[in-house]
Amino acid sequence: MKKTKTQIILLFLLLNLSHSLSISSHGSLSDNEVRHIQRRQLLEFAERGEKVTVDPSLSFENPRLRNAYIALQAWKQAILSDPFNFTANWIGSNVCNYTGVFCSPALDNRRIRTVAGIDLNHADIAGYLPEELGLLSDLALFHVNSNRFCGTVPHRFNRLKLLFELDLSNNRFAGKFPAVVLRLPSLKFLDLRFNEFEGTVPKELFSKDLDAIFINHNRFRFELPENFGDSPVSVIVLANNRFHGCIPSSMVEMKNLNEIIFMNNGLNSCLPADIGRLKNVTVFDVSFNELVGPLPESVGEMVSVEQLDVAHNKLSGKIPASICQLPKLENFTFSYNFFTGEAPVCLRLPEFDDRRNCLPGRPAQRSPGQCKAFLSQPPVNCGSFSCGRSVPSRPPVVTPSPPPPLHYNSPPPPQVYYNSPPPPPVHYSSLPPPPQVHYSSPPPPPQVHYSSPPPPPVHHSSPPPPAVIHHSPPPPSPEYEGPLPPVIGVSYASPPPPPFY
Residues at the interface with ligand NAG (CB under 6 A): 84-85, 94, 97, 255, 279-280
Smallest gap from residue 31 Cβ to ligand NAG (A): 39
Residues 76, 90 contacting (CB under 8 angstroms): yes
Residue closer to ligand NAG, measured from CB, 113 or 312? 113
Residue closer to ligand NAG, measured from CB, 37 or 308? 308
Residue closer to ligand NAG, measured from CB, 200 or 280? 280
Smallest gap from residue 238 Cβ to ligand NAG (A): 19
Residue closer to ligand NAG, measured from CB, 195 or 307? 307
Residues 190, 213 contacting (CB under 8 angstroms): yes
C-alpha distances in Å from residue 320, one per residue of 85, 187, 280, 366, 383: 57, 40, 20, 20, 21
**H or E stretch covering 266:** strand 266-267
**H or E stretch covering 44:** helix 31-47
DSSP-derived pairing of the beta strands 266-267 and 338-342: unpaired
Residue closer to ligand NAG, measured from CB, 350 or 446? 446
Smallest gap from residue 255 Cβ to ligand NAG (A): 5
Smallest gap from residue 82 Cβ to ligand NAG (A): 8
Beta bridge partners of 295: none
Q: Fill in the DSSP letter of residue 105.
A: E
What string of DSSP letters covers 236-250? EE--SSEEEE---GG
Chain centroid to Cα 367, Å, comes to 38
Distance CA 293, CA 310 (A): 12
Residue closer to ligand NAG, measured from CB, 94 or 340? 94
Residue closer to ligand NAG, measured from CB, 115 or 315? 115
First to last CA, the chain: 43
Smallest gap from residue 92 Cβ to ligand NAG (A): 6
Residues 325, 301 contacting (CB under 8 angstroms): no
Smallest gap from residue 156 Cβ to ligand NAG (A): 28
Residue closer to ligand NAG, measured from CB, 185 or 474? 474
Say which amino acid occupies 126.
A
Smallest gap from residue 220 Cβ to ligand NAG (A): 26
Distance CA 160, CA 53 (A): 23
- Total Cβ atoms within 10 A of residue 334: 26
Smallest gap from residue 84 Cβ to ligand NAG (A): 5
